[in-house]
Structure 1
Amino acid sequence: MLTLTDVVAASAEVGGTRSRLAKVDTLGAVLRRAEPAEIAPLVGFLTGSPVQGRIGTGWRTLVAVDLPPATAPTLTVSQVDAALTALSQTAGKGSVSTRRQLLDDLFGAATEPERRFLVALLTGELRQGALEGVMLDAVAKAAGTPIAAVRRAFMLSGRLPATAVVALTGGDLAAIGLELHRPVRPMLAAPGDSLADALAQLTPCAVEYKLDGARIQVHKTPDRVTVYTRSLREITDSVPELVALVHALPCATAVLDGETLAITDDGRPRRFQDTMSRFGSTAEEQVKALMLHPFFFDCLHLDGEDLIDRPLRDRIEALRRAVGPHVIPGLVDPSAEEAEELAARALAEGHEGVMVKDLSSPYAAGRRGKAWQKVKPVHTVDLIVIGAEWGHGRRTGFLSNLHLAARDPDGGPPIMVGKTFKGLTDELLRWQTDHFPQYQVAADSWSIQLRPALVVEIALDGVQSSTRYPGGLALRFARVIRYRPDKSPTEADTLTTLQRMLGSP
């Protein structure tokens, strides 16, 4: 039987090393000790994502617990999991006092190190390094199962704890298949150096518009349509126009991957923030004011046939049958001249650039390899905001200069790579000043430090070697494009991505 202290010790050991292999060994060892009922909560604890999701208890409530810590560890993984389940299910009349008692019982039985771990876990601040990729490797090692089988099962189930349970209890990972109305983890694109390079690497390929929209995944059965974001959050009720459109498609069942965006009367894309604002609202007036338009680029299932393992060329053919005019603008196996013309047209219409995709590639979740490459006229990366400085001059009174960090590819804390105050509009300055304090972990007279929670898209002219920042490089002419509320820090670009850009024009 695993104790919470076992989890805290493993977390500390993982967080204390930069070695991916050491992290995997530590996690694999604790996973092998877990009983079947402990596996799911254990994986949730060590990846910083309890299986209950958010339990509705904030930082102030947790740190306000006024009880002495336990002198000896007694809490088990199962007891903590049961307490979190009870907290997540407590609502309605009398819930405030009930939740207070549940928290007092849990924290009163926890030692001081266990308390620190629980506070970090429940506030989303657990940064011990067990990211999904590391945990997947650990599950495969502990189960003695090929990593490819674990990754595929995770892609199709969308749930890492559930995948771990199957793998570690001797279940059949191959039996985890695509299930309609259960979202599939999305395949992601790697940055391409140039259109010419991408075409040379991926011939034969498809080239299509890279839209400045929001990723969606749509599932259709005869009597139901569901819509999910890139983080697998369901937004069906917020997008009735997309639901109606998909209902009318000439197919009985389908799983479609695509982008959606709001467009102006002349057909140009509206701001990304305008599109994202729709995902949290069901107000009829907002739906009418900001109609969303879908552009689908992949088909994972059509009329009873799963297509994930089929080459992209076949999936595009199925997509065109399924969605007709709603397919994203693009070309299959174009010449270099045709691809350049398409890229120029995409930019002229206000889009970001183009995607270049290997026509022989199956659908695989995550950003492994370069089967899909995004090519933009300027380099853009998604970085984590870990601090900000108070402005001067006309920016006095506003939080301005951002401290930017890349994700550690081995799961450690974000690694600082630069600062920028360029590209910040008055609107963004006001927003930062209003919202940053809720993420604050420390402050002095000139700056504040933030817990890693916010992702910002940064344009830059390249990177250069530098000893000024811990990442060993510095950003050249970095400027803010937008914040990415659709992305978590675990989806930010890694230091490795920036290192590959060294010497790029």
Structure 2
Amino acid sequence: MRAFADLLDSLIYTRSRNAKLKLIGDYLIATPDPDRGWAMAALTGDLDLPAVKPAVIRGLIEARVDPVLYRMSRDYVGDSAETVALLWPTPLVPPQESGPLAISQAVDTLNSLSRSDAPAALAAMLDRLDAEERFALLKMATGALRIGVSARLAKTALATAFGIDVEAVEEVWHGIAPPYASLFDWAEGRGAQPTAADVPVFRPFMLAHPLEDLRVSLDDYAAEWKWDGIRVQIVHVAGATRLYSRAGDDITASFPEVARDFTGIGVVDGELMVKGDAQGGALEEGGAASFNALQQRLGRKIVSAKMLADYPAFVRLYDILFDGGEDLRERPWTERRTRLERFAQSLDPERFDVSQLIEARDFTALEGIRAGARDAAIEGVMLKRRESPYVTGRRVGLWYKWKRDPLTADCVMMYAQRGSGRRSSFYSDYTFGCWTEDGELLPVGKAYSGITDEELKMLDKFVRGHTLNRFGPVREVEKTLVLEIAFDSIHESKRHKSGVAMRFPRISRIRTDKPAAEADTVVGLKRLIV
């Protein structure tokens, strides 16, 4: 645990990508199996210790220190694991076990115990460790590292350290369980390269760069709509079907009807949405409802018959990676598109269709078509180079995303909450509202992005100087500051008192020039619902 604690500490204070790669690589080379495998699982978000939840950790610390002191400290520090690690008291009686605690020992112990027995075992481990090691253990246990290391970067560090291809690592990653013994055997020359044959594994998605100010020729690029659902990959091989999210999470259980009806052997890439007539709503031009309808299905491990009927899911297909056992990723987009259209003919048209291409004579004509698209399920336009292969990640010049211009509204700041990580000392999460016809201010959204560091300091100063009430980590502020909020779309919501919910709200401008009484109204926001 000591070496992993030192690694986390170094990564937190390192900004250079290359330096992070070297830190992780050096750790993996120096650390024996299976500890390094469990460390990789933690770094990539693949470590699951179901018996340890945040509430368990909170209960342990509040049994040892004044709960008020813990909550005040948590509010100041901004991170639960760090707060507990620093506050954990030295036991009056020395622990029965002493000496170094291996990562594998901690994982094996916590995985083997029931939810009722795990808290005592976790407490015994924390008693053995110093503050840095406690921080590392708690971060591992809760799966919330937040140290500026993505799963892709961790895998790249592994590949670089051992001189193997990162794409080969990605290809088999989801087919190998932690602590990845076969992967390290291959990396160090003791075993054969693992393969994904006959296993429904996830392949990393091809991603797009923002178009920004670039103009491209439609002779070289094909245009298709960018739909507002969740990106999914459907894999059917050896009689098994899996649905994966963009992050590689298995979401098959949440959408069993999609897995059931996908009968083709192969791997496809598409957008998962809910049909537009769900819950009596108007059928959209593209047959899809807004993202708000899809949210009713997300994250559900058990889906009722009523939910299946009220919010029927379907997938709009974008691309094909495998047709049967044939790998098409190196083929040009034009060929893959032809193969996708042929592949889709064998699928249930009520559950699967192919994303429509946009016919435009030139880029200027495409601009006009994009500007006129206000379908609630359309996010914008995708531009795909006709000769592009399907490659992992973002490659310049191949795919571009051209989102439609955001909507904006002037809203009044109502509440503020401390952030996490490097923002833990600032009030950086803001709840904002709009006026009703009766002059009441109702919350319509929450945002924490879109501002510079200087603007963050300014808003933090405003919150501290204009606080009306405190509710734990939340402060109610004077209703005098207007924020211009940009958002992708807005939808009706029964869960919010205002009756509306924004999609991807972010702060566009701080309107110190505008009186709060002139901010927008809830009625005005409702007019923006498509």
Instruction: Tell me, yes or no, if structure 1 residue 310 matches structure 2 residue 331.
Output: yes
For 1:375, give the aligned amino acid.
W
**What is the match of residue 78 of structure 1?**
104
Is 1:255 aligned to 2:267, yes or no?
A: yes
Is residue 35–residue 102 contact of structure 2 (8 Å, CA) maintained in 1?
no
Q: What number of residue pairs does the alignment pair up? A: 408
Q: Work out whether residues 256 and 296 of structure 1, in 8 Å CA contact, stay in contact via their aligned partners in 2.
A: yes
Task: Quote the residue 2:55 is aligned against.
Answer: 60
2-structure distance, mates of 1:419, 1:287: 47
Q: Distance in 2 between matches of 1:27 and 1:416?
A: 32
- Please tell me whether the aligned partners of residues 353 and 376 of structure 1 are also in contact (alpha carbons under 8 angstroms): yes
Quote the offset at 1:319 in angstroms.
0.6
Cα shift readout 1:324-375 (whole Å, capped 9, x = no counterpart): 3611101599754674576467546852221011222222233343422111
Q: Give yes or no for contact 2:48–2:143 (8 Å, CA) kept in 1.
A: no
Superposed CA offset, 1:169-198 (max 9, x none): 23678653465522222222221125xx35
Task: Determine whether 1:113 maps to 2:125.
Answer: no
Task: Judge which range, 156-165 or 120-129, deviates more.
Answer: 156-165
The match for 1:283 among 304, 318, 340 is 304
1:397 is displaced (CA, Å) by: 8.7
- In the other structure, the counterpart of 1:267 is 284
CA RMSD of aligned residues (A): 4.1
- Specify the code of the residue in structure 1 equivalent to 2:334: R
**CA distance in 1: counterparts of 2:192 and 2:454, whole angstroms:** 38
CA–CA distance in structure 2, aligned partners of residues 316 and 348 of structure 1: 24
- What code does the residue aligned with 1:16 have? Y
1:7 aligned counterpart, secondary structure: helix
Contact 1:52 1:85 in 2 (8 A): no
Q: 1:9 to 1:419 in 2, by over 3 A?
A: closer
Residues 355 and 9 (structure 1 numbering): CA distance in 2 closer, same or farther, change over 3 Å?
same
Note closer, same or farther for the CA distance 1:369–1:60 as it changes in structure 2 (3 Å cut). same
TM-score, normalising length: structure 1: 0.68
Q: Structure 1 regions of 5+ residues with no counterpart?
A: 407-413, 422-436, 448-456, 461-479, 485-491, 493-505
TM-score, normalised relative to structure 2: 0.65
Q: Distance in 2 between matches of 1:188 and 1:402?
A: 25
Equivalent residue for 1:319, pick from 340, 347, 356: 340
Relative to structure 1, the CA distance from residue 120 to residue 221 in structure 2 (aligned partners, 3 Å threshold; closer, same or farther) is: closer
Is 1:403 matched up with 2:448?
A: yes
Look up the match of 1:204. 220
Alpha-carbon deviation of 1:302? Answer: 0.9
Comparing 306-315 and 54-63, the one that deviates more: 54-63
Give the counterpart letter for 1:288 in structure 2.
A
How many Å separate the matches in 2 of 1:48 and 1:395?
45
Match of 1:359 among 359, 369, 386: 386
Question: Structure 1 residue 275: deviation in Å?
Answer: 0.9
The answer (yes or no) to whether the contact 1:189–1:372 under 8 Å persists in 2 is: yes
Give the Cα–Cα distance (whole angstroms) in 1 for the partners of residues 328 and 454 of structure 2: 41
Which among 17, 22, 36 is matched to residue 20 of structure 1?
A: 17
Give % identity: 21
What is the rounded CA distance, in whole Å, between the counterparts of 1:314 and 1:175 in structure 2? 29
Tell me, yes or no, if the aligned pair for 2:47 and 2:143 is still in contact at 8 Å: no
Shift of the 12–173 alpha-carbon distance from structure 1 to 2, 3 Å rule, reads: farther
Q: Helix, strand or coil for the counterpart of 2:207?
A: coil
Alpha-carbon shift at residue 208 of structure 1 (Å): 0.9
Bigger proportion of residues as helix: 1
User: Structure 2 matches for 1:458-473, cutoff 5 A?
Assistant: 459=487
Query: What is the CA deviation profile of residues 216-251 of structure 1, one whole-angstrom value per residue up to 9, with x for unaligned ones?
Result: 21122474433222233333343344234423xxx4
Closer/same/farther in 2, CA of residues 165 and 481 from structure 1, 3 Å limit: farther
Residue 388 of structure 1 pairs with residue 414 of structure 2: no
- Structure 2 CA distance for aligned equivalents of residues 395 and 388 of structure 1: 22
Counterpart of 1:242? 258
Aligned partners of 1:73 and 1:111 also within 8 Å: no
Residue pair 1:206, 1:333 contacting (<8 A) in 2 also:
no
Alpha-carbon distance in structure 2 between the residues aligned to 1:416 and 1:173: 53
